[in-house]
Chains A and B, each alone.
Chain A
Amino acid sequence: MTGNLAAFARGAKVIHIELDASEVGKNVPVAVGLVGDARGILRELLEALEARHCDAWRAEIATFVRPRFESFKGELSAEGILGAVEDASHGRCTVVSDVGQHQMWVAKLFRYQRPNTHITSGGLGTMGFAVPAAMGVVMARPGEPVWAISGDGGFQMNMQEIATMVQERIPVKMAIFNNGYLGMVRQWQQFFHGRRYSSTPIWSPDYVRLAEAYGIPGWRVERGDQVEAALRGALDHDGPALIEFLIEQEANVFPMIPPGASLSEPIESEAVTA
């Protein structure tokens, strides 16, 4: 999260609010450590502070927020798909993502309305997490849709759990962002390894037929105008369902922090290649 530690927040004074004293100052030097429960500390801080205005800073921030259009070609875009997922559930759903490019899109593009509705392996970055974790989420939050969003690589790691969903009647809605690659690694190979796609092209079975073999409904979406119907079908079905999205093969996620670089040196677009 910090990128290159030496360059992280240079010149900034860091206030670290942390439950575990042994974590304060572990990676980033702090000016003030506040050890304890976050809620209690925030309340105490609020009592000690007066409301203030910082219009200049607010204005400056507004200039940072640039609309970014993801590099899907054609009408099928990450924003489009995720926006449609959110619309279809009227904002009342939980998204469990796997690990990779799609995880980045889910983290930044999904319009979360409620806290703790994006569940993902952020620390270890475990591929294959989404499908089984989503089963646990459904058990904890029955009565609201739970989406397991994976890439084609991560999906294949634990797709055998569809059998569990069927036998135990656990209605996970699965979405596969299929680009035929281990996308995140491929992107790094494009930018830092001269486009040598070593062991990143990955074959997938016919997911719609796979769904059929498991006795659950499946859809394949190749164009933007197919998205809504597929989502509607999956959500209306009383049980697990699967949608495969055939997305742009060499789509990239931006901004990207090169290895060893700091947060202030991101790669912003395709135009900049190493």
Chain B
Amino acid sequence: MTVTRAVTVLLEDRLITFTRAVGLLRRRNLPVRSLAVGPTVTPGISRLTIMIQSDEATAERAVQQLQKVVGVRAAAAFPARDGVSRELALVKVRATGERYGELLDVVQLYHASVVDDSPEAIIVELTGSEAFVLSCIRALERFEVLEVARSGAVALELGLTDAGARVPANT
């Protein structure tokens, strides 16, 4: 069944290794929705999170192929609903005097916050699931959104499993 899945990759924190892993996604035509990469608590190791739209077999194959890349320490995949996925967005909105109160109401509704309060434009910060973030951006669109920066999603699987411990399936 085709659903949103998170593929998490722990890899050496070097551009060449990152290029190899991402190059693999391109070559295998994987249906990527978003990518996010950042450091981990282990020095020299980064975490790459890829949200894809696929069936289980495709995701498993992607994991096995990623594990073959020199520099990749571990890779795992899980359906998004079996974990928690979140992204961050910064939204720059024009600050118009009369509607400022209305704008703040929307910000509050989405548990977002105003992180910059310049006279012409404010910057709103929010975090949430992809759906939540999209909904907030749509709501803010009535106030003239000037620019949006979204981070892409990171995700963790529920329960005791972790990306570093996953061993490849051996049918």
Give the interface of A toward B (CB within 8 A): 20-22, 24-26, 32-35
Contacts and interface: CB of A to CB of B under 8 A. Distances in A.
Nearest to B63: A22
B135 interface: no
Interface stretch (B13-21, B44-52, B86-94, B163-171): B163-171
A33 B171 contact: yes
B68 interface: yes
A26 B170 CA distance: 15
A22 B171 contact: no
Interface residues of B, number: 10
Contacts of A25: 57, 61
Contacts of A32: 171
Nearest to A18: B171
A216 to B, nearest CB: 43
Nearest to A32: B171
A21 B57 contact: no
B2 interface: no
A120 B168 CA distance: 33
B64 interface: yes
Contact of B171 (A20, A26, A35): A35
Interface of B: 57, 61, 64-65, 67-68, 168-171
Dominant secondary structure of chain A at its interface with chain B: mixed
A26 B171 CA distance: 14
A186 B168 CA distance: 47
- Counting from the closest, the 9 A-B pairs by CB-CB distance are A22-B64, A33-B171, A22-B65, A21-B64, A35-B170, A22-B61, A21-B168, A35-B171, A25-B57
B171 A24 contact: yes
Contacts of A22: 61, 64-65, 67-68
Contacts of B171: 21, 24, 32-35
20 contacts: A20-B68, A21-B64, A21-B168, A21-B169, A21-B170, A21-B171, A22-B61, A22-B64, A22-B65, A22-B67, A22-B68, A24-B171, A25-B57, A25-B61, A26-B61, A32-B171, A33-B171, A34-B171, A35-B170, A35-B171
A25 B65 CA distance: 13
